[in-house]
Structure 1
Amino acid sequence: MSEMMPEEYHTYKIKSYVNASHAMRWEDGEGKQHNHTWEIICEIHTSNDHMIIFNDLEKAVNRVLAGISGQFLNQLAYFEKVNPTLENVTIYLFHLIGPELEKMQANLIRIEVGESPTRFYCISATE
């Protein structure tokens, strides 16, 4: 008897780095501005499992990341009222990178954003 093979699900994974600073906001004011080398890992699934050139995926992700590279995140319009925590930066990038990939018939199914080698926040898309 042969075992049934599980259905395959193919994804791409793109890892990028960007330098940007932020300062946490607290009830009694704003903390000290400090820099991070943010690590962004995007897991991507394409429509109908068609192949996309890695270079094209990287370009799409990098178009978004160029908007935060070298920036003080607190000064970006989105973070004027939203505290630029690791969690909120991840949400921000998820909502910017997703639509950029959709233009290529691809879906951002998971994003992992790290502000250090040991601290990451992750969001997975639901079906």
Structure 2
Amino acid sequence: MPTKQRTYKIKSYVNASHAVRWATGSGKKHTHTWEIVCELHTVDAMVAFYDIEKNLHQALDELSGKFLNDLPEFKTVNPTVENVTEYLFTKIDKTLRDNGAQLLRIEVSDSPTRAYCISVTE
């Protein structure tokens, strides 16, 4: 019989702007409503969503309303959807682990038609 894995899924939104850097210069500064979907596993069978969401939003609030290119994390790293996802995965996973949960998958969209995803594999 297959083993069941129980997870929580939390969807959040952040408004932030960026300008992608190219070899020939930077693109135009523009704003996105970034959609962040996190799937996580908790140590306990049940968890208070409020606590998990509070921890999650602490990580996301650092980006809210910001021009990503100005943040120290993106001074040398191009603020593409891929790199933003990598940054958020690392930041959110650490925050969740400190609070009894583990990030299994993150999906970050900068438009309604595409997303970049990172999943933990065993």
1:10-61 deviation line (CA, Å, top 9, x unaligned):
00000000000000101111110000000000000012x4311111111111
Task: Give 1:126 deviation, angstroms.
Answer: 2.6
Q: Which segment is superposed worse, 72-81 or 50-59?
A: 50-59
Does 1:56 find its partner at 2:47?
no
The CA distance in 2 between the partners of 1:27 and 1:7, in whole Å, is: 48
Task: Give 1:8 deviation, angstroms.
Answer: 1.1
Q: Which segment is superposed worse, 97-106 or 49-58?
A: 49-58
Give TM-score scaled by structure 1 length: 0.93
Does 1:24 find its partner at 2:20?
yes
Match of 2:3 in 1: 7
Give TM-score scaled by structure 2 length: 0.96
Please give the secondary structure, in 2, of the residue aligned with 1:59. helix
Match of 1:86 in 2: 81
Match of 2:31 in 1: 35
Runs of 4+ in 1 over 6 A off after TM superposition: none
Match of 2:111 in 1: 116
The CA distance in 2 between the partners of 1:54 and 1:117, in whole Å, is: 26
Structure showing greater Rg: 1
- State the aligned residue count: 122
Q: Structure 2: which 5+ residue stretches go unaligned?
A: none
What is the Cα-based RMSD across aligned positions, in Å? 0.9
Please give the secondary structure, in 1, of the residue aligned with 2:92. helix
Identity of aligned residues (%): 60
The CA distance in 2 between the partners of 1:20 and 1:105, in whole Å, is: 29
